[in-house]
Amino acid sequence: MRTADLIAGPTAGLTVCLTFYPFDTLKTRIQSPAFRKLAAQSARPRKMWLRGLYQGIGPITLAMVPGSAVFFTSYESSKSFLRTSAPQIPEPITHVLSSSLAEALGCVVATPAEVIKQNAQVMHEAKGSSSLAALKLVGRNPKDLWRGFTLLAGRNLPFVVIQFPLYERLKVMFRVRERGNGLMETAKVTGAAAGLSGGVAAWLTTPVDMVKTIVMLGANKHSGRRLGAVDVAKSVWREEGVRGLWRGGALRGIWTGAGSGLYLGIYECTLLAMGEE
């Protein structure tokens, strides 16, 4: 475990979270049938869509620090272990295995915060802390706070399996045109590679993200009958077709691509500045 990973990961994660969180809130609201219905009935729908764009940021920020540290420590450690102990494994497979393990561990940390965050993002009459109000609405039953863990992992694992092998490959391709290995060169190469790979991965995994959002919003103890992932997917498909499953995909692809470029750019530049790369 490198000390640099414990610093670089959370630093990158917090920066991206604070910068792009409003886009995540808008994406959640776009995917929420209940919120869209309320906004359509509102006398001032635009204000409803744009108010409280940072609702729910507290829990996800708190989870970001340990989550990022767990992810990058696991990713770099497992990647190094596989390269040393099993050099015959092709490099893309090494990246897939390392990123999958890291993301699975990260989801363990992130799920309760994600449930609270998404329920806070669609609250429109919260007084005081929206996160505390969401926690009260969800309830303190651990089972409810972990609702959607399988879907979070089911979204994030394919995401990293797509992103990281592509990211590592693009870094190699882009560095052919780069000279030197200073901070600016590292930032440009990493940002471009991470942005492209993250945007593609985000768009491709949107259907799972759409279902995850609805299931996690169903953790609300006042939401009525709680549907499982299959029932939610069937319902969205029946009512809106393919377009419904990709609801919010364009916004998610754009902001995730930009966020991935900033996230991994800061991460690798921090490692370089600390003399780790």
Tell me the residue length of the chain.
277
Q: At 160, which helix (H) or strand (E)?
A: helix 149-175
Place of tokens 């471009």: 192
Tens digits of residue pLDDT in 54-97: 998 988 888 877 887 788 788 888 988 999 998 889 888 888 89
Q: Which two tokens stand for residue 114?
A: 């994600």
Choose from 32-41, 121-130, 219-228, 260-269 the range with maximum mean pLDDT. Answer: 32-41
In terms of Cβ atoms closer than 10 Å to its own Cβ (0-12, 13-18, 19+), residue 180 is exposed
Mean pLDDT across 4-10: 67
Distance CA 114, CA 134 (A): 11
When computed from its CA atoms, the radius of gyration of the chain, rounded to whole angstroms, is: 19
Nearest to residue 67, comparing CAs of 128, 16, 6? 6
pLDDT at 182 over 80: no
Mean pLDDT across 247-257: 93
Report pLDDT for 222.
52
Give me the chain's average pLDDT, please: 83
Reduced to 3 states (helix: H, G, I; strand: E, B; else coil), residue 81 is helix
pLDDT at 9 over 50: yes
* DSSP 8-class letter at 117: H
pLDDT at 184 over 60: yes
Report pLDDT for 196.
94
Residue 226: pLDDT band with limits 50, 70, 90: low
3-state helix, strand, coil in the chain (%, to 5): 80, 0, 20
Q: Are 272 and 183 in contact (CB under 8 A)?
A: yes
pTM for the structure as a whole: 0.80
Report pLDDT for 179.
46
pLDDT at 138 over 80: no
pLDDT at 106 over 70: yes
pLDDT at 207 over 80: yes
Place of tokens 């989550």: 67
Q: Which residues have a Cβ under 8 Å from the Cβ of 36 and sit 6 or more positions away?
A: 29, 30
Nearest to residue 163, comparing CAs of 92, 107, 211, 265? 92
Q: Which residues have a Cβ under 8 Å from the Cβ of 18 and sit 6 or more positions away?
A: 57, 61
pLDDT at 200 over 80: yes
Instruction: Domain ranges for the chain, please list them.
Output: 3-273
Cβ neighbours of 194 (radius 10 Å): 27
Report pLDDT for 91.
86
Residue 29: pLDDT band with limits 50, 70, 90: very high
Mean pLDDT across 31-44: 90
Residue 177: pLDDT band with limits 50, 70, 90: very low
Mean pLDDT across 214-239: 78
pLDDT at 46 over 70: yes
Kindly state the percentage of the chain with pLDDT values over 90: 27
As a CATH number, domain 3-273 is: 1.50.40.10
Q: Which two tokens stand for residue 127?
A: 């007084």
Q: Which of these ranges, 138-152, 173-187, 194-208, 215-229, has the smallest mean pLDDT?
A: 173-187
